[in-house]
Amino acid sequence: MPAINGKQPSAIPDSLLNPCLRSDIQFKNLPAEIIFRILSYLDPNDLVQSASCCREWYYIASDPLLWRVLDLSTLRSKSFNPKTATSLTSRLRTCREFILDNPPDLTHQHVTALLHFLSSSPMLNSLTLQKLGHLLNSHSLEHHFRFSQSRCLTNVNLNNSNVTTPAVVAMMNKHKNTLKTLDLSYTAIGDGTLRSVSQAQVLHTLDISNCPSISRTSIRNFLTKRFPSCLVNLSLRNMKEVKITWLYDLLRLPSSANLKVLNVEGCERLTLGDLKELQEAFSERLEIKHNAREVVEDNIWGYRRYIDFLGEEPNLPERLTASGAASANPPNAPAPPSADADLQAQLEIARQRLKELEEKVQGGSSSSSKGKEKEKERSRTSGHSAAVKC
């Protein structure tokens, strides 16, 4: 540094050039906005602890913006002391989104207490109780929905939890005019759930995948008679009773005009050929998600379903006259009988064709196995001759 008036000036301290390097700056002297931003990264348990540091931090940590989304998935049971519970209880009444996803360290009593206080939140619009298993008591959930003070609940995710029909009925009775997204996959809901869901007014997305307690008749009635006109996305994954005829009847309903996405992955009765025909018939308005594959036995399953359709579907003559069964036939299937045709004769024709296809598939598999055995015998002979030459 050049000398001034023959004197060498002293070096300027770095703390003056950069105030952030000053050692006398304490955390409590930071602006409230900076402290608020720092506290926003804490989980609810640490946020409650920080509120007890001083009066200023208490007021900052009590800001409703910090408690708008309350995720208690990582809450520790040891830290669930009376002081923490009291603070959380007051925050539950102001939160708008509550999340409890597979908590590793909570008990059944903790979840029940949280739901009890959460029912008094008037601004709650999103509820996620996911992968709770035995931690969630269906009676406690029913009590929560029955006495809920929320008037704007729009999203509910109860995936893989202990949920039964009475809890869903209580929820729909209270929130059928506001609920837009509902995930009930992998739950124990029954037939009454679909009757209650059919009363929804603004429901946009419904997931009832892998719910084995729902009967075949209830699924058929929901798809063909009680389908809510507001649904846009419907997921029926692993619902093995779903038939292709039900889907055709569904898409012919005026109430299904808004349906845009249909997920039928894992529905074993639906073959690739049937789904392709269904997609082509309604390609302009519907996207079908599936995992069906092109297999040799596709026609066999088609004939089996066709025989089942002829033998079990009610009101057969009226349905065939209206050509409702034409699109459900498998490729190269016999023409559907008219209303005056002999049903037994048509069944015999279908059974004969099914038997021929099964014999054809079994013959192809046996010939392929014989070819493999011949190939192995050739390889053994060639190896033996090579050893003899050596």
pLDDT tens, 285-314? 889 998 876 544 445 666 666 666 555 544
As beta bridge partners, residue 69 has: 97
Token pair 């997204």: residue: 181
- Report the candidate in 197, 209, 272 with the shortest Cα–Cα distance to residue 241: 209
Which has the higher per-residue pLDDT, 351 or 246? 246
Task: Could you list the beta-strand ranges (E) of 264-388.
Answer: 287-289
In degrees, to the nearest 5, what angle opens at C-alpha 143 toward C-alphas 137 and 146? Answer: 140
CA pair distance 162, 137, nearest whole angstrom: 7
pLDDT for the residue 330: 47
Q: Could you tell me the maximum CA-CA distance found in the chain, to the nearest angstrom?
A: 122
pLDDT for the residue 58: 74
Give the pLDDT band of residue 359 (cuts 50, 70, 90).
Answer: confident
CA pair distance 118, 115, nearest whole angstrom: 5
pLDDT at residue 230 above 90? Answer: yes
Q: What percent of the chain has pLDDT over 70?
A: 67
As beta bridge partners, residue 181 has: 155, 205
Cα–chain-centroid distance for residue 351? 39
Lowest mean pLDDT among 95-104, 181-190, 206-215: 95-104
Lowest mean pLDDT among 170-179, 349-358, 371-380: 371-380
Average pLDDT in the 317-327 region?
Answer: 46
Residue 261 phi/psi, 5-degree rounding, is -130, 130
pLDDT tens digits, 7-50: 555 555 554 555 554 545 566 677 777 877 877 777 777 777 77
pLDDT for the residue 25: 54
Give this prediction's pTM.
0.67
